[in-house]
Structure 1
Amino acid sequence: MKLVDVGGRTMAYHRAGAGPALVFLHGGWSDGRAWGPQLAGLSDGFDVIAWDAPGCGGSDDPPREMTMADYADAVAALVAELGVEAAHLCGISWGGGLALAVWQHHPELVRSLILVGAYAGWKGSLPPEEVEARVRRLLAEAERPPAEWMDAYLPTFFAGAPPAGSLELVRSMMLDSRPGGLVPMLTAFADADLNAVLPTIAVPTLLLWGEHDDRSPVGTVAQALRSAIPAAELVVLPGVGHEVNLEAPEAFTTEVRRFLQAAGATLIRVSRATCALCGQQAASEDVPLTWMTSVEDGRKRLYCDRCARENVRSIEGKLDPVYW
């Protein structure tokens, strides 16, 4: 684990390898140690970074009132501090929703998305009564030591017997979890509905799910994301639960590598992408939207040719057009 000061707060991360940046975002009751198999398995071809979210692992606790936009800003600040201009993002569960928030608020950072057992926010993907029950349980458990309640979660994380060491790792991370991290991150997620973000995604996207994920079911949550995200690919690993990367690490890492190798040469056709300024959609394919930098705020967005000419300036090293 390494430490860095970001905006006056200590942030912890794990890093290995060299190559295109690949940033892993963990879920709740977890930290960057959850990505140990991928740090080892993908560092031969990628600069693999696994953060500890604010309030998790070795990172300082965040302010009590956090939004998913705040967490997205924290990701952006960390990768900037580490000298990364753009990265492939892979997030599991809460981390998958965070990856969507990073796309929403910092699209210039995102080369591709891998969403694993993810949600478009709890509010965006779960029935209201389920969200209410999860929050009520979270707040009650925050008043008690993790050892008193964590074993009740373990059957919901794995479909079968996990590989040696995985169960012990999850237990260790849960024992180390603290209210100052869990409560802000999961209450922010409970309030989040990121469904409006999904049709705007204009980078290669992999949805990677466990067949028996009871926390984020394939038949409802994954299929809804697949329907809403243009050109998203859904891969379901058989016999696996919610903690896909720990229960089936070899299969998971193989799928991630395959996807990233293809993503580097993929031109995405995004049927529902719109110009960031005028909001118009193309009536036919093969009309390019181009990544440009806004004069107003310096962020990269997709613009049609007319709005690009009138309102934005080209950036050095501009990305290829993305066809919609």
Structure 2
Amino acid sequence: MFPLKLPKFISLTASIDWFYRHSFANAGLRSVLTNLGDGTIMNCWVPKSHKPYKPTLLLLHGFGANAMWQYGEHLRHFTPHFNVYVPDLLFFGHSYTSCLERSESFQAQCVIRLMEAHGVGKMSMVGISYGGFVAYNVALQCPGMVERVALCCAGVCLEAKDMEEGLFRVSNLDEAASILLPQTPEKLKELMRFSFFKPAKTVPSFFLTDFIHVMCTDYVEEKRDLIRAILTERKMFNLPKITQPTLIIWGQQDQIFPVELGYRLKRHVGKSAQLVIIKNAGHAVNLEKPKEFVKHLKAFFYDSPSSPSSPTTWKDHFQFHINKVSS
């Protein structure tokens, strides 16, 4: 587990990151590095004590700061009822690989191996944006392992021709990468305008520069390759359908993956999918509308057969089985 020490040199971004790290630890998680072999190391926040009577929930992040920043506001709603796992995907946080593969399919393979290494046999998943691409592939590759899937603003059903036909606000891959991987305060402001329905009007330049320095300078070329991998030569007819119950959440004003892709995904998955559109929210709907985001996730996952009617203490667990035997 990484030490919970304040940064030696004061950085607002590093201090916020320390706060999230501390809150994850207080929620009963610990940060663990797992060597998957083949030069692949993955970091994951895992339960300090995995409770066998609780279902497992895997939270997959998108592009952005790191997993802690994207799920820090939501974690407390799920740790009482689930064994929660929050990995850093490859080339984010402390996860990396020497392999040259950059597809979301390879990311999914690594996630599956990671969860198997932690002894997880069954799980449900939430995937935000790029994490949704990975979650979709995990569900495809291991249908018997995955019970339910929530995909948030994940343009899984995009096609390469969509960019040429003007569906996106950007015209090519290089422009998309320059925004999603900001290296200047101006580009970070542009990303905020694309990501939020109501972006902050004034953000101090020193904070933007500090954020880029702390969060946006590692594995830049590798992340560009991840973006190219999901956008190059993508066609709908090549995309298999997942069969698990699926919740699709989308911000109505999403400018990165327009809401049309949410409707497209719903049609593609079919009857096992439900679509929720959240008004007055952009791509970062998990941060912009956290209460609504959590409300829909709770309604979806708590309705799961393996989910919490579940007991939450060992005493409740014992009584739960007594009631089953006597009924």
Using structure 2 for the length normalisation, give the TM-score: 0.69
The Cα shift of 1:28 comes to: 1.9
Q: What aligned pairs does 1:59-74 form with structure 2 within 5 A after superposition? A: 59-74=95-110
AA paired with 1:109? M
Matched, 1:235 2:276: yes
Aligned to 2:253: 212
Query: Which residue of the other structure, out of 11, 16, 40, is the alignment partner of 2:42?
Result: 11
Q: Would you say 1:31 and 2:66 are equivalent positions?
A: yes
- Structure 2 unaligned regions, length at least 5: 1-30, 308-327
**1:43 maps to which of 75, 79, 101:** 79
Aligned equivalents of 1:261, 1:142: Cα separation in 2: 33
Deviation at 1:171, TM superposition (A): 4.6
Separation in structure 2 between the aligned mates of residue 101 and residue 125 of structure 1, nearest angstrom: 21
Q: How many pairs are equivalent?
A: 261
CA separation of 1:69/1:57 partners in 2, compared to 1, >3 Å: closer, same or farther?
A: same
Identity of aligned residues (%): 24
Pick closer, same or farther for the CA change 1:51–1:177 going to 2, 3 Å: same
Q: What residue is the counterpart of 2:131 in the other structure?
A: 95
Structure 1 position 243, deviation (Å): 0.9
Supply the distance in 2 between the matched residues of 1:125 and 1:79 (Cα, whole angstroms): 35
Distance 1:146 1:78 in 2: 34
Aligned partners of 2:44 and 2:87 also within 8 Å: yes
d(CA) in 1 for partners of 2:189, 2:164: 25
- Correspondences of 1:244-323 after superposition (within 5 Å): 244-264=285-305
RMSD: 3.2
Shift of 1:92: 1.3
C-alpha distance after superposition, 1:137-192 (max 9, x if no partner): 25667998454632211111111257xx9xx8995675355314412321211136
Offset from partner CA, 1:209-244 (integer Å, 9 cap, x none)? 1121121222x1111111111221111112111111
- Unaligned ranges ≥5, structure 1: 267-324
> Secondary structure, in 3 states, of the residue corresponding to 1:153?
helix
How many angstroms does 1:197 deviate by?
A: 7.2
Kindly tell me: are residues 84 and 45 of structure 1, through their superposed partners in 2, closer, same or farther at Cα, counting changes over 3 Å? same
Q: Which residue of 2 aligns with 1:287?
A: none
Contact 2:182–2:216 (CA under 8 A) maintained in structure 1: no
Match of 2:159 among 118, 123, 134: 123
Contact 1:31-1:53 within 8 A present in 2 as well: no
Opposite residue 107 of structure 2, the aligned amino acid is: Y
Secondary structure of the residue that 1:200 maps to in structure 2? coil
**Other structure's SS at 1:2 match:** strand
Give 1:80 deviation, angstroms: 0.9
For 2:143 and 2:237, locate their aligned partners in 1 and report how far apart those are by CA, in whole Å. 15
Q: Does 1:221 align with 2:261?
A: yes
8 A contact 1:204–1:263 mirrored in 2 = no
Match in the other structure for 2:92:
56
Pair 1:211–1:84, CA change in 2 (3 A):
same
Corresponding residue for residue 178 of structure 1: 219
- Residues 175 and 140 of structure 1: is their aligned pair in 2 closer, same or farther, counting only changes over 3 Å? closer
Rounded Cα–Cα distance in structure 2 between residues aligned with 1:201 and 1:125: 23
Letter paired with 1:184: D
Cα–Cα, structure 1 residues 5 and 96, in superposed 2: closer, same or farther, change >3 Å?
same
Distance 1:240 1:61 in 2: 34
**Structure 1 residues 20, 74: closer, same or farther in 2, change over 3 A?**
same
- How far residue 193 of structure 1 moved from its aligned partner, in angstroms, is 3.4
Once structures 1 and 2 are overlaid, which stretch shifts more, 30-39 or 140-149?
A: 140-149
| TM-score (norm: length of structure 1) | 0.70
The answer to whether the aligner puts 1:156 opposite 2:194 as a matched pair is yes
- Residues of 2 paired with 1:123 and 1:81: CA distance? 34
CA offset at residue 22 of structure 1? 1.0
The change in CA–CA distance for 1:216 and 1:159 in structure 2 (over 3 A counts) is same
For 1:77, the equivalent position in structure 2 comes to 113
Within the candidate set 171, 192, 199, 1:133 is matched to: 171
Give me the whole-angstrom Cα distance separating, in 1, the residues matched to 2:302 and 2:238: 25
